[in-house]
Structure 1
């Protein structure tokens, strides 16, 4: 127990010192499930010790969320409270850092009317659109982490009791975030450097297209826009302060050209979307747009996701993750995108990060659109990596380079 408490404290410290890299006199906003109150208190403790001038907690509760979906009338979900956006923008304008703890029950809304969920997701997307510019443009530091909750742990480890499942999930999270190593902070610095080195190589090559193929039927060509930027590991906010947006992170990513995606791609892991699972699906693209899709699990949920707006039918991210990543080698399907996306190459429906194109963070939506940058109310990652995935990149000079072979880096 003493060893666990030590790791728990070190995980909280790592999140504050490396993840959000909190600065003196900076506010901090933490979005968290009520089940994680003890860990949130640790985050607040170390945040104040690091010099935070204010720590605001944005609580959520799966039980109350489900009760609302089961009992509230449809029109309630069509409206997003303005005070919620105003609160987040208030802190963003004060230069706050934002920590989000993603620990939802992946089957929370399994029996809820999918139309009600779709309406709520769209209303939230519209309501939080202005705030998301602060994080998607890296104006403010932000960090996404996870902690186990009982329902989530029991979905992942179905054959053990609830308490054991939570312990097993904590162990998996600690390993995925390098908390099992002697010096996690130094291990993270080395890891960030290795991802930055991959990004540097890809940026120097200035690839024009990427061709993905796999024995599962994936055959997809993705055009990359002029001036695209590969990123990985750490980012910097508007003040030049480094932060790590996802812990864990194993990806190197950029954006595709909105109208330059053609072919078919097959999912390789379940997608947890809004309390429902979408699994075993394939998507066909023509000139960037989804023109056909099939899903053996969650077909209607996927349809509603793609119908949020026109931009949801286009891609906003392409990310490379080796099949041998530590999270993949754990051989656990986490049913949580933060972890599963870092076990697999993935794409994202919807909005692209403006920081993934040269000077994009300084551009208007219209200026970004002219460069082929997708805009949408949503951004949802889905996993496509496999043990035999091949990726061949072609530079603007016509040179073809094997980037991935048999699911691993070939460069």
Structure 2
């Protein structure tokens, strides 16, 4: 029987060799909470084994973040150490690879004044905008993976003690990332091929719109005229193939900025900036959210939508069948990296330039003319369910069923 350390080693290997695909003499930047230090050390060793010339660690700490939000002068929350933002951008410019360990604590800032959280979030996003352009346009290879922390595991398995719930969450991660397979790389190659087939099918259709119909949802999303469906992997500017999210079950593309109309209801909780938003409904008119209500986290939702003008428009639409490994686990992960791969989802905020033809080489004006939405945020939230129906609409108005009862037709 394989040991935990064996699977952890395979997980690190998958992240470095397949997801991030570190190249010889490449700098690797790992952005991580300090709670993941043991895993960071393992990733660092794997990166050097893969030929990295240097591994730079950008540490963060949830408790320190919470203390700052609660006690620092408000003027401090309007400042960001530009040496950090400039350093990240400089490393991206020089072709570094970036790995983020995402282990959210959805209760971290629930008792903090949301105005203070919004000020800090906007300050940080504005300062890091130049750096994030490199990731959002796939100019560099990048990856997001998760690591079970005490706080995250408590949300997923509240009935277990800390040791038991962390072990249980690790078991789920190993399964859902295919690390438990005899040959994870072969399993991923097969999975990528299946997703790519869906991507190619959708690109051949050239739908004008998608119509989503489900409980609380009746939504029409116009697709950008030059939209490209994308799945699983991408290529960096240097030609390196990488998988930005592990796990991934989606195919996604760019909506036309002003082309979304109707109402949509979330089907899973959203962990956002240390707080939870749940049971929320958005109404769109000509692309813009004109009404938003939430059963939990109304103030957080309002602050998110008011981040900037683009925050009320869509930047992504993604299709994920209900019959997928993460959905079939029957768990809510309170972690968008996992929950978005259990359900069809859409994202408020910034679009990805690589999801339209020639987008990565377009000017800002050209992107805008082709339906691109610019924003400081990109927030995915889940709208799929076992009763979701999706139709593709052609230019002539004819319909074609894509999803019935939550799954591909």
Q: C-alpha separation between the residues in 1 aligned to 2:71 and 2:33?
A: 21
2:315 match: secondary structure: strand
Q: Shift of the alpha carbon at 1:151?
A: 1.0
Q: C-alpha separation between the residues in 2 aligned to 1:326 and 1:24?
A: 34
Counterparts of 2:253 and 2:173, CA distance in 1? 26
Hey, what does 1:105 align to over in structure 2? Answer: 105
Q: What is aligned with 1:353?
A: 352
| Residue in 2 that maps onto 1:222 | 221
2:59 is the counterpart of 1:59: yes
Task: Identify the residue that residue 140 of structure 2 maps to in structure 1.
Answer: 140
Work out whether 1:343 is the aligned partner of 2:366.
no
Using the alignment, how far apart are the partners of 2:315 and 2:302 within structure 1? 18
Give how far 1:361 is off. Answer: 0.5
Task: State whether residues 253 and 320 of structure 1, in contact with CA within 8 Å, keep that contact through their aligned partners in structure 2.
Answer: yes
Displacement of 1:254? 0.2
Q: 2: distance between equivalents of 1:81 and 1:370?
A: 34
Equivalenced residues, count: 409
Q: Deviations over 1:10-61 (max 9, x none)?
A: 0000000110001100110000111111111110101001100010000111
- 2: distance between equivalents of 1:296 and 1:398? 36
Q: Which residue does 1:330 correspond to in 2?
A: 329
**Residue of structure 2 equivalent to 1:204:** 204
Contact 1:62-1:104 within 8 A present in 2 as well: no
Work out whether 1:262 is the aligned partner of 2:261: yes
Task: Assess if the C-alpha contact under 8 Å between 2:283 and 2:289 holds in 1.
Answer: yes
Cα distance between partner residues in 1 of 2:292 and 2:34:
37
Q: Contact (CA 8 Å) 2:104, 2:271: kept in 1 or not?
A: no
Aligned to 1:260, what secondary structure does the other structure show? strand
Counterpart Cα distance in 2 of 1:366 and 1:211:
29
Q: Which residue of 1 aligns with 2:270?
A: 271
Which blocks of at least 5 consecutive residues in structure 2 are unaligned? none
Per-residue CA deviation, residues 117-173 of structure 1 (Å, 9 max, x unaligned), is 101111111111111110001000000000101111112111110111111111111
Distance 1:398 1:240 in 2: 39
Q: Which residue of 1 aligns with 2:376?
A: 377
User: 1:66-215 to 2 correspondence within 5 Å?
Assistant: 66-214=66-214
Q: Contact 1:365/1:375 (CA < 8 Å) preserved in 2? A: no
Whether the aligned pair in 2 keeps the contact of 1:210 and 1:393 (CA below 8 Å) is yes
- 2 CA distance for matches of 1:2 and 1:172? 15
**Cα RMSD (Å) of the superposition?**
1.0
Structure-1 separation of matches of 2:248 and 2:34: 25
SS of residue in 1 equivalent to 2:258: coil
Q: In the alignment, which residue of structure 2 is the partner of 1:367? A: 366
The Cα of 1:375 is off from its aligned counterpart by 0.6
Name the structure 2 match of 1:312.
311
Partner SS state of residue 319, structure 1: strand
Where 1:372 maps in the other structure, the secondary structure is coil
TM-score normalised by L of structure 2 = 0.99
Q: TM-score, normalised by structure 1?
A: 0.98
> Unmatched 5+ residue regions in structure 1?
none
Indicate how the Cα distance of structure 1 residues 2 and 388 shifts in structure 2: closer, same or farther if over 3 A, else same.
closer
Aligned with 1:120: secondary structure? Answer: helix
- In structure 1, how many angstroms separate the alpha carbons of the residues matched to 2:42 and 2:10? 10
Deviation sequence 1:356-389 (CA, Å, 0-9, x none) = 0000001122211111111101000010001010
* Cα displacement (A) at 1:397: 4.4
**Cα distance in 2 between the residues matched to 1:188 and 1:168:** 23
